[in-house]
Structure 1
Amino acid sequence: SKADYAEGLRVTVALSVGFAILVGVLRIIRGWPIHWLIITGYVGVIVMTVFAPPEIIGIAYDSGGVTTSTITVPLVTALGVGLATSIKGRNPMIDGFGLIAFASLTPMIFVMGYGIFGVGGNAQQLDGPFGIAFRSVVQQIEAYAALLTHPLNRLAGWLFGPLQDWMLALPGMFGGLAHTLIDTINDVLPIAMIIFGFQLFVLRKRIPKLGRVLLGFVYVLLGLAFFLDGLELALFPLGKLMATQLTDPAFISSVTHHVDNLNWWDYRWVYLFAFAIGFATTIAEPSLLAVAIKAHQVSAGSIGVLGLRVAVALGVAIGIALGTYRIVSGTPLHWYIIAGYVVVVIQTFFAPRLIVALAYDSGGVTTSTVTVPLVAALGLGLAGTVPGRSVLLDGFGLIAFASLFPMMTVMAYAQLSERRARRAARSNRGA
């Protein structure tokens, strides 16, 4: 059923991210070069693309971009940089970044594997032998998770149940804000439990400055709740409205003054909107700001916060604009992605070594809380209105473009900066 398919897909992505962080941590500990692991992963994605069902390819590519969020990106970045800083012989810039890149890459491989072995030729049924076995594993995981969380849910219901009921009963937007706050608490609580659990029961050390840490969690919960509720009230409805209106055949015909035989240039306002919204939403991404600040700190100021954000935002803007052109033209998604991977691999061998891991991470921080809903709405809306396009086959993929192109622009930015520095050094020696 569709519910089984969606549940299996969700667990597949979650398992892939867990595996990705494990591999990323092993890489930092062992000192493995990140580019060989990433290139191997790209080869795996390309090979899986050949065998995966067509209806799963776009979803698989997009799954690599939706695994990172406003909560996880700063935490994972701090984990990688902190681990690299604490291990002798590791460079925080070279070895500390890269965990987000793994978390963006492995879901594509896992989801396409799920499509090949679990779904087969029908994306709505789990009718193969692997599909039946995988569904059983999913049910076991859910059963164990429910068993572990049941006492906590009962305790939380007993302590905070009346307060939660009162908050949800608030009128108007206050009730919506309360609902968002409760959802945010449910999202942050498992992460906090894992961190505190390892600190107290594995490391067996007290948490330094506990009061400050708890206050920080309160700030995170309140800030995210207001931020997400504001997005739901204003930005998302306006963005989806713009996407719907720009892809409306009536608007296209009013611009082109003809209805039949529309070509790719007739959708020029869609490309411009895609570029602008890609740049603007990326600049506003809290995840990108967190990574840029951490990179600025670790590099002792050699990497500028604004410069990195602009480079990433340009990559997203170009990627989404090109992705909308792909939907209009109807060309296969995988050819663009494979060509992009080839460019990234070539750039990897010419870019400064200090920037490579950060560039890989840049592809994962661009598709977070602000960007994903707007970009997904644009892609699905465009595929639903362009004649001859399928929402399932053509509507997905914009998030993959938004994850791929920032890696190119960040490495290009680093190469240009290095070239400028060399020219400046030569001119100073000549003087």
Structure 2
Amino acid sequence: MISQLFQGFGQTMLEVGAALAPLLFIFFIFQVQLFQLPLRKFLPILIGFLFTFFGLSLFLQGVYLGFLPIGRLVGAELGALDIIWLLLPIGFLLGFFSAYAEPAVHVLIHQVEKASGGYIPQKGLLYTISIGVGVSVALAMLRLIIGMSLWVFLVPGYATAFLMLCYSSKAFISIAFDAGGVATGPMTATFILSMFVGLAGEIGETNPLLDGFGMVALVALAPILSVLTLGILFGRKERSN
């Protein structure tokens, strides 16, 4: 059992090591040329790199063994539902909680609250991003059911986003586009994406290669719109005060 769980783990560690090695190399250059940190500050950073290495290796191993297979199985089961329109609320809930549990989203909201001095609370921003992702996954389900083109959502969506830039503050504009990036993190790109591939293989005459992908583009767009909306609401609140 243990041997099966760690099958291919060496290759996963090599992949993570290759990704982290340039960052570690650049850090060493800065340490020698600029930082020159004392040993008591230098060692915790090295230990942090070590934790990151093993953490990412274990996470990716879990993705290969667990998230990807279960995502496809869940998608296949959802595609076999008699009431196909149940996919919309189910998609919203899965999108909401995948964003709510997304580690990168929690890093973002923590940094935003810290940088804003508490003006933008973590919980409010977290719910805003999660709702946006939930709506986007529900729309991706709708696209899969009806067979609509991805452009029908992306072109009006980004046009609306650029229009909203004129009414939102500069701070929220920056946060919004970062939110679109972090929302498409490991939770969405592993479980939700593999679920859509499995779902596309079960619904009607859909092609998993053509219809199973594109969901991440919608997930990247939705938090931009939701955070810009939050920025507009904050702006109105400030003007009313």
| Shared fold (TM-score, shorter chain, > 0.5) | yes
Mapped to 1, the partners of 2:169 and 2:235 lie a distance apart of: 8
Choose which of 142, 146, 156 in structure 2 pairs with 1:339.
Answer: 156
Mapped to 2, the partners of 1:384 and 1:211 lie a distance apart of: 50
Mapped to 1, the partners of 2:105 and 2:72 lie a distance apart of: 23
> Does structure 1 residue 205 correspond to structure 2 residue 37?
no
**Corresponding residue number in structure 1 for 2:229:** 412
CA RMSD of aligned residues (A): 2.3
Q: CA contact under 8 A between 2:133 and 2:183: conserved in structure 1?
A: yes
> Does structure 1 residue 368 correspond to structure 2 residue 197?
no
Runs of 5+ consecutive residues of structure 1 not aligned to the other structure: 1-169, 256-265, 426-431
AA matched with 2:79: T
> Does structure 1 residue 311 correspond to structure 2 residue 128?
yes
> Does structure 1 residue 183 correspond to structure 2 residue 183?
no
Choose which of 170, 178, 181 in structure 2 pairs with 1:353.
Answer: 170
AA matched with 2:173: V
> Does structure 1 residue 228 correspond to structure 2 residue 60?
yes
Q: CA contact under 8 A between 1:231 and 1:370: conserved in structure 2?
A: no
Question: Deviation at 1:394?
Answer: 2.4
Mapped to 2, the partners of 1:392 and 1:174 lie a distance apart of: 29
Mapped to 2, the partners of 1:240 and 1:391 lie a distance apart of: 11
**Corresponding residue number in structure 2 for 1:241:** 73
Mapped to 2, the partners of 1:330 and 1:189 lie a distance apart of: 43
AA matched with 2:92: F
CA distances 1:111-149 after superposition (whole Å, capped 9, x unpaired): xxxxxxxxxxxxxxxxxxxxxxxxxxxxxxxxxxxxxxx
Q: CA contact under 8 A between 2:102 and 2:186: conserved in structure 1?
A: yes
Change (3 A) 1:269 1:394: same
Mapped to 2, the partners of 1:394 and 1:388 lie a distance apart of: 10
Question: Deviation at 1:216?
Answer: 1.2
* SS of aligned partner of 1:385: coil
AA matched with 1:407: I
Choose which of 179, 203, 208 in structure 2 pairs with 1:391.
Answer: 208
CA distances 1:67-117 after superposition (whole Å, capped 9, x unpaired): xxxxxxxxxxxxxxxxxxxxxxxxxxxxxxxxxxxxxxxxxxxxxxxxxxx
CA distances 1:171-227 after superposition (whole Å, capped 9, x unpaired): 342455555444322321222223333x157xx224422112101111212332333
Q: CA contact under 8 A between 1:274 and 1:320: conserved in structure 2?
A: yes
Aligned length: 237
Larger Rg: 1
* SS of aligned partner of 1:355: helix
CA distances 1:25-75 after superposition (whole Å, capped 9, x unpaired): xxxxxxxxxxxxxxxxxxxxxxxxxxxxxxxxxxxxxxxxxxxxxxxxxxx
CA distances 1:257-285 after superposition (whole Å, capped 9, x unpaired): xxxxxxxxx42222222211111111111
Mapped to 1, the partners of 2:233 and 2:48 lie a distance apart of: 38
Runs of 5+ consecutive residues of structure 2 not aligned to the other structure: none
Mapped to 1, the partners of 2:211 and 2:9 lie a distance apart of: 35
Change (3 A) 1:195 1:407: same
AA matched with 2:231: A
Choose which of 77, 80, 84 in structure 2 pairs with 1:267.
Answer: 84
Mapped to 2, the partners of 1:227 and 1:387 lie a distance apart of: 34
Higher relative contact order (CA 8 A, sep 6+): 2
**Corresponding residue number in structure 2 for 1:30:** none
Q: CA contact under 8 A between 1:315 and 1:409: conserved in structure 2?
A: yes
Mapped to 2, the partners of 1:174 and 1:323 lie a distance apart of: 34
Q: CA contact under 8 A between 2:6 and 2:61: conserved in structure 1?
A: no
* SS of aligned partner of 1:370: helix
CA distances 1:225-282 after superposition (whole Å, capped 9, x unpaired): 333334444444333221111113xxx3xx3xxxxxxxxxx42222222211111111
> Does structure 1 residue 196 correspond to structure 2 residue 13?
no
> Does structure 1 residue 217 correspond to structure 2 residue 217?
no
**Corresponding residue number in structure 2 for 1:323:** 140
TM-score (ref. length: structure 1): 0.51
1:96-111 → structure 2 map (5 Å cutoff): none
